[in-house]
Amino acid sequence: MSVFMSFGICFRLNFNSVLTVNRLLPYFVGFISFENMLVLSKSFLTQYPHLDTKVRVAQGLSLDGLGITKNLMTELTLLMFGSLLFSPFFQECCIFAAVCLFSDYFIQVTFFTSFISMNISPINVSCVVVVIIRFLTVIFKNRSETS
């Protein structure tokens, strides 16, 4: 998703030579984003389950958000130094990688955080019990009618 977003940003900024860069870079960005998703998921899910979802997400971001941001800034700094080299292909790769990493960070902070917070919200146990009881009554009612 971040690679497609990066293609769109680069084309919008008239950086049209992106198509020569896209050989190995999506794998690099995919690996980085997968690692960050695992870190965020672990930090959200290892919080106390009795806490509210908003508190769990806030504590998870406070624990691991700074580390992910530091990694992003380190990678962007290295890519900035790489884009100062005199090889045009290497400059294009570094610029495209920086746009990919920044868009991936944006997606993880906004989309992935909200998506995982919807998935870890506690299920209402009484609703589950009511559904199970209704299901069992329908099964036993149908069984008694057929006998």
pLDDT of 30-53, one tens digit each?
A: 776 777 777 877 777 777 777 777
Gap between the Cα atoms of 54 and 51, Å rounded? 8
pTM of the predicted model, to two decimals? Answer: 0.69
Helices (H), the chain: 2-12, 25-45, 53-83, 88-107, 113-119, 125-146
* Ranges of the chain with pLDDT below 50: 124-125
- pLDDT value at residue 73: 92
